[in-house]
Chain A
Amino acid sequence: MRLLKINNTVNFMRLRIPALVISTLLIVGSLVSLAVNQLNWGLDFTGGTLIEVGYPNTANLDEIRRELDAASFGDAIVQNFGSSQDVLIRLAPREGVKSAEVGDQVMLALRATGKDVDMRRIEFVGPNVGEELTEQGGLAMLTALICILIYVAMRFEWRFALGSVSALAHDVIITLGLFSVLQLEFDLTILAAVLAVIGYSLNDTIVVSDRIRENFRKIRKAESEEIINISLTQTLNRTIITSVTTILVLLVLFFVGGALIHGFSTALLFGVVIGTYSSIYISSSVALLLGISKEDLIPEVIEKEGEDLDPMI
């Protein structure tokens, strides 16, 4: 069975101008939202205390708020988490009180009336640690992009390298934009997901670029645009199938994996869709815009990659 029976080359590049316009709009929109709404930074980055508790029956949020208010935790944000029995309590970092003890004090306050409250997790992050994590996260993202840029430039050609890195930046910015627009909480796990999106999108882009390079060498008489179209058509089935299997497991993760992993799977689901689109439209359009041509890819000595190595397969 075949997903798509395509016998003629699809003229993907015909749509590259509208695609670039849409992508630019999405990026600008994301940047504006990031500047105006910012991200809904999670505890890891802002610092503060988070307590998740479990009740044997449906939790009465108002009563919990009253109990906390009585214990002078009136500023606490109380909400359900995952199910009606589980409650998440957030507290901003506070001056004066030994902040590391806030979690224990809250547990005492909730148990004061003798209720059976299950402590599920307490997280406390000091404000300085939060700042450092933000810095580290940004640094991780930048280092990853630069290292990938260097590797792809060495392995392919600088136009492809710029093409794939702009596709990655595109994916990252729009995924962050989504989190900003929907005001979903952005914590360390989401950061890991965004970095995994980079990995995924890159995987896709490399496969396409590899085929474009191969076709530039194989097909002698064709325009660059046509060769890109041919390559995209040839890899289309693979692109879709891999996206489908990945999206399948991510859907499972989203619905089965529990509340803690929700944000993670949301970021990945969205990122995989954007990444698939960008590997078709962004990386090759950028390479085309930069004027990629046959001469850039015909190596001086025509030698197949890995020919000098012992065959592994």
Chain B
Amino acid sequence: MKKYFVPILMLASLASSAQTKSPVKVSGTAGITYEGYGLTRRPSGWTGYGPRRPWNQVRFNFAPTFQFGKNFTLPVNFNFAAFPTNFAGPYSGLGASGKQSFKQFITNPMNNFSLNPKYKWAEVQLGTQYLKYSDLSTGDVGIFGAGFSLSPKSIRIKFFTGVSQQGINYAAGPPVINGAYKRNHWMFQLGTEKEGQYLFAFNIAKGKDKISSATPAISVRPQEGLTMSFVANVFAEKGWYVKMEGAQSVFTKDQASSTSSATKSLKPFITGRLSTITDYAGQLAVGKKSTNFDIGASVKYIGAGFQTTGYPYLQPDRLDYTLDTRFNAWKSKEGNFKMNVIASVGQRVNNLSGTAARAKQFLGSLNWFTQFNDHWSLNVNYNNFGFNAPPSAGNPFGIKNVSNDFGVNPVYTWSNTKMSHMLGMSYNYSKYDERNGSTGVITTNNTHTALFTYVPVYFTKDISPDFSAMYFYNDVPLAKLSLLTICAGLSKPVAKNKIKLRGQLQYTLGKLNSFTPNNNLIASCSIDWMLTKKLSWNTYLTTNYFKYGNEIIPNGANYLESTCRTGLQLKF
């Protein structure tokens, strides 16, 4: 721990001194935070509730920006944690095993180490970078490496190469670690841009697993993908815009498969193999944006074989189209609009290729806010979502899910010379019908939620309380769940406003069917102390006690969960 903390404090100290003694300007933040977690379960040996945070964690951040003269800046971002906690993705399992090599630490998605020196229009990108070149080429994955971004006048040239994950061997566990191959990335963009007017850019992005880097589980295959895309965005007068992108991917699902002349090769970038697939994707959005009126239509197509290492969770084989609008209406005497409406309608069609099970989804949503006068406002929302898959093998009755949500939310405020009051009410009704494709049985799921909030604001005192009461009722066949929550919070500055205290108590009475009720009490407090103008000490403590009724065995099982987070933050 010490090895991480000492250099950061030294750098922060240097940064502070640089600001006062030299023409170099430094601004940014640095800090260290400790989080401790505790869980006590009773009766002893009962494991029905698992820990959901690491027992101990220390996080560091050091993010100064050095400004040398007018044209040169050096932003630094070191943001990392002492213990791995990966539960999804290529590093999955490392969190529970608690072991990682130095290379894995450097490239672990939980850590960032980046330097981005920039001189006028030339930027060098070093370390961990989350670079989004476009919606269809690359953008979701953090890569540790090196590259540059050049933007002389309207020219855009970008290049970056690095590693998004290190090789990780399979481990039978526990915990089971499926492992991963080391994945290298290369990306390049050439384009022209004038901010607010146009962007035309060609992107090429490649990711390739290194087969010799590890021995992961047999189901983890060494992959290789190349994606090329062309982006064209045009912004016209009066808020009109057109955005489009077309892309092609060549993706090898298994580099261990033999080379093949029957599949597509793009040498020297990628060689076709038996597991190589090639497909297209595209998107188009047209619309108009203004202060009081927006309208837009968009279409997105992702081919069944379109796959890119830059967006590993992209769902293929679909066509989406949506129409959105937003507008303000009903002008007051003061010239402000009293009404705001947001609406959206769209559909998704799956299985354009014929290789997947057919399904369609429909959605529609409406949000309507009105400020009637100084006292009353009303928000109404309605959302509908439908999913429909016709009968097929395995689904003799077809799958159908329909979700309808309606909410109404009036708010009344009033005040006198000493204080103001805000009384909020909210009711939401949700109906969800789910048809089982195998049995044809339709399950209707009804949920009612009612909420009352009261927030008094004192003009002459510095305490800020708030109160709320909520009732939640969910009714499905064989399960009726009701929750009643009351909550009170209070915040108050002390020590001449140097310390801000806040506390909250929340009690929930839950009941499932005819079982005896369960009880939940959560108490939390935060202490934010400005030690100096630049240095703050923030502490947060919370404890959560939950006691089951007789809905589970052993009856009366309970747990106490506590979190303590405390940290120093320096702004300079």
Q: Do A and B bind each other?
A: no
Interface, chain B (partner A; CB < 8 A):
none
Interface, chain A (partner B; CB < 8 A):
none
